[in-house]
Structure 1
Amino acid sequence: MSNTNQINYPARNRYAQTPSPIQPLDRLTEALGISARIWVKRDDLTGCYLSGNKVRKLEFLVAEAQAMGANTLITSGGVQSNHARATALIAAQEGMRCHLLLRGDAPADNDGNLLLDRLAGAEISFFPSHSFEANVARYFSDCAARYAAEGNLAYTIPTGGSNGTGLWGYIGCADEMHQQLRSLGVTLDRIVCATGSGGTQAGLTLGAALCGLSAPVTGIAVCDSSEWFNRKVKADWQAWAQQYGALAEKNCKDAGVELAKLSVHTLDEYIGPGYARAGQEIFETIKLVARTEGLVLDPVYTGKAFYGMLQQLQQGHWAGEKNVLFVHTGGLFGVFPQRSEFVF
């Protein structure tokens, strides 16, 4: 186990219930006959309704918004976005306004994360999926201008909270994880996470390097190509370094880290039919994990990533690796809108 380096952080609020536990999945490993031991970092337990990976990022994002004097949060995502739900609830908790720019048609029913968005009082605008990415910058600027005209200062958060500020959330998670693994006496061979906007993968990879956790991070894409994620992760690192200047430089210098030399590892073979759409093998994996370990995955993010991890292990791609850790990034509320896809 490598030494732990002391990481210095910017201002943050505390929303996540941490440290989230690390647990072995021995019954599943035995049932599947996998030689590696699978561990899970339970970031689905960072809260009840404030559950999942986005809460860690929002600790830094909302602190920055408040330091700027903002009273409104604007962010974007899919109709069942975990990030949008967490942002809406934290905004309510902080007495701030929240406006969600959601990709897709307004559904007939308020279900899953969308129900919680509504309960939190977020204002919601829906936009066509096919043209969303091409126009999202304008949606943000138009929305912020509207609030400014009303005398409100809006702070804009990109999809998934994935930017230089949001990176701190999973730098912190890697730091926390390293401390826990030292206590457990476990040396990891690999860390696996779902990657949908790149921020969690970027933060974990950078955080692992900064704290001295030597295991490589593999992001399993739920949308877009591995090339897209590899570019996005590197762009997030550069944005982090530019934004935080001396603080970022000190952390890298203390850890002996050169951003240009860090590697990005992404697999894009398990996306299936597309974002938020999954094949039956994903739903079967969710059932298997729930029935062997009492652990609930979701069909948008963690179900796909966990299935991909199992495929890699069962097909011998990670032969010789003894300890593989899966970061459970939450998503429970995304199960309910796709309940009809489960076959019992």
Structure 2
Amino acid sequence: MIPADLFPPRIQLANTPTPLQKMERLSRKAGVEIFFKRDDYTGSELSGNKIRKLEFLLADALAKGADTVITCGGAQSNHCRATALAAVRCGLSSRLILRTVDPAKPPPLSGNILLDCLAGSEIVWVTPEQYRARDEIFEREAQRLRSQGRKPFIIPEGGSSALGAWGYVAGMDELVADLTRLDDGQVKPTTVICAAGSGGTTAGLALGALLSGAPIRVVGVNVCDDRDYFVAIIDSICRQFNETWPSVLAGGIPAYDIIDGYVGRGYALSRPEELAMLRDLVRLEGVVLDPVYTGKAYFGMTAELSVNPQVFGERIVFVHTGGQFGLFPVADQFAMLV
């Protein structure tokens, strides 16, 4: 276990520890042990992996006297939904910068957008082109809030920063405890696989694995962009982590892998074969993934296993990072599959 005094201040938002469940039928089908770390169980409205990061980020916001948090993401961003609802729990307001093709005609109120609005978030719609300059938009919106006498706190995309990475340093600490119990005190080699959408979860898991000393390989399956993009982001988060807390790892840079090639049609765009695999998992194990993150990561993991059942070793832990609210806006795409 990581000593408690190493961790920065945090607030309790997530229902943790989350279960580690063996997928018995999936394991038999794949020929290796496959467990799911059920981080979709971190809450109901506050479900998913983002909550672990927000425990540290919102603690910092409150310590700095903020009254409004600003963050960004896609129209159906799980991170933005989680931030909006967690902010309410902390007594804060939220402003969300969401991207869509035509800001004058935003998407309908469904899935995460509906929850954003129910939470009272102020939504600023921008085009994908404008979104590329999100740091400038962050500062513009922060300045607008300051001019109104408000105190903004900026949370980066996905909560992916050195501080946010502590959420999955803690998550890995929890997982190592799970595996220690499972293995009667001696963790056997394990590959931990997660979706990589903004890099923070993969970075935190890799940092936590290095800190634990356990024989754990961390693998991210990118759901957008490419391997080089994510290596740059994750390495940057890890360097910033070491610069901010130099005594934690004494400058150590964690090892991790990025499995590229499964972005498909693009971010938040699904192929029929990806959706069919989500359906098949529900019918095999009763586990529901989302089409944007866990669905693509699961598709990539399964495709790699179909080529080489030993590619990830004898045991896999797939981190279920939530996101099921993203199913509802694409329900029509399942019409021919159910």
**2:122 aligned partner:** 123
| Pairing 1:210–2:204 present | no
Q: Does the CA contact (< 8 Å) of 2:31 and 2:309 recur in 1?
A: no
Counterpart residue identity of residue 249, structure 1: P
2:235 paired with 1:249: no
Q: Kindly indicate whether residue 252 of structure 2 is the aligned counterpart of residue 258 of structure 1.
A: yes
Matched, 1:334 2:326: yes
Match of 1:94 among 76, 90, 93: 90
C-alpha distance in 2 between matches for 1:190 and 1:22: 14
Once superposed, what is the RMSD of the aligned Cα atoms? Answer: 1.4
Q: Hey, what's the Cα distance between the residues in 2 that align with 1:111 and 1:319? A: 39
TM-score, normalising length from structure 2?
Answer: 0.94
**Residues 44-85 of structure 1, C-alpha deviation per residue, up to 9 Å, x if partnerless?**
000000000000000000000111111110000000000000
Whole-Å separation in 1 of the counterparts to 2:257 and 2:69: 32
In the other structure, the counterpart of 1:179 is 177
AA aligned opposite 1:220: V
Task: Tell me if structure 2 keeps the 8 A contact 1:224–1:268.
Answer: no
Shift of 1:317: 6.4
Distance 1:188 1:285, change over 3 A: farther
1-structure distance, mates of 2:204, 2:311: 26
* SS of the residue 1:165 aligns to: helix
The residue type equivalent to 1:163 in the other structure is S
Look up the SS of the partner of 2:30 in the other structure.
Answer: coil
Q: Does 1:6 align with 2:7?
A: no
SS across alignment from 2:216 = coil
1:311 — aligned with what? 303
Check conservation: 1:76, 1:84, Cα contact below 8 A. Answer: yes
Match of 2:287 in 1: 295
Shift of 1:320: 7.4
What is the one-letter code of the residue matched to 1:42?
R
SS of the residue corresponding to residue 7 of structure 2 reads: coil
User: TM-score normalised to the size of structure 1?
Assistant: 0.92
**d(CA) in 2 for partners of 1:336, 1:107:** 17
Q: C-alpha separation between the residues in 2 aligned to 1:274 and 1:61?
A: 29
Give secondary structure in 1 for the equivalent of 2:318: strand
Q: What is residue 221 of structure 2 aligned with on the other side?
A: 220
Specify the code of the residue in structure 1 equivalent to 2:47: S
In 1: Cα distance, 2:317 partner to 2:273 partner: 21
Q: CA deviation at 1:236?
A: 0.3
Identity of matched residues, %: 41
Question: Aligned with 2:69: secondary structure?
Answer: strand
1:239 aligned residue: 240
Could you list the per-position Cα deviations for residues 20-51 of structure 1 after superposition, in whole angstroms to 9, with x for gaps in the alignment? 00001111233xx3211110000000000000
User: Unaligned stretches of 5+ in structure 1?
Assistant: none
Does the Cα contact within 8 Å between 1:167 and 1:200 map onto a contact in 2? yes
Confirm or deny: 8 A CA contact 1:5 1:212 kept in the other structure.
no
Q: What is aligned with 1:65?
A: 61
The offset of 1:250, in angstroms, is 2.5
Q: Work out the CA distance in 2 between the residues paired with 1:258 and 1:29.
A: 34
CA distance, structure 2, for counterparts of residue 286 and residue 230 of structure 1: 27
- The amino acid that maps onto 1:113 is N
Contact 1:40 1:327 in 2 (8 A): yes
Over 4 Å off, 4+ runs:
none
Secondary structure in structure 2 of the residue aligned to 1:216: strand
Please name the residue that 1:155 is paired with. 153
Task: Compute the displacement of 1:322 (Å).
Answer: 1.1
Distance in 2 of aligned mates of 1:264 and 1:293: 28
How far the C-alpha of 1:103 sits from its partner, in A, is 1.1
Q: Secondary structure at the match of 2:288?
A: coil
**Cα separation, partners in 2 of 1:236 and 1:320, compared to 1, 3 Å:** closer
Q: Deviations over 1:174-233 (max 9, x none)?
A: 000001110111624311000000000000001111122221111000001101101110
The offset of 1:108, in angstroms, is: 4.3
Q: Structure 1 residues 290 and 73, CA, compared in 2 at 3 Å: closer, same or farther? A: same
5+ long unaligned stretches in structure 2: none
Q: Given residue 330 of structure 1, which amino acid in structure 2 is its aligned partner?
A: G
Distance, in Å, in 2 between the alignment partners of 1:188 and 1:283 is: 31
What's the CA shift string for 1:118-150, capped at 9, x where partnerless? 0000000110113311x2111101100011001
The answer on 1:84 being equivalent to 2:83 is no
Question: Is 1:51–2:51 an aligned residue pair?
Answer: no
Which residue pairs with 2:111 in the alignment?
112
Query: What is the letter of the counterpart of residue 284 of structure 2?
Result: T
Task: After TM superposition, give the deviation of residue 292 of structure 1 in Å.
Answer: 1.0
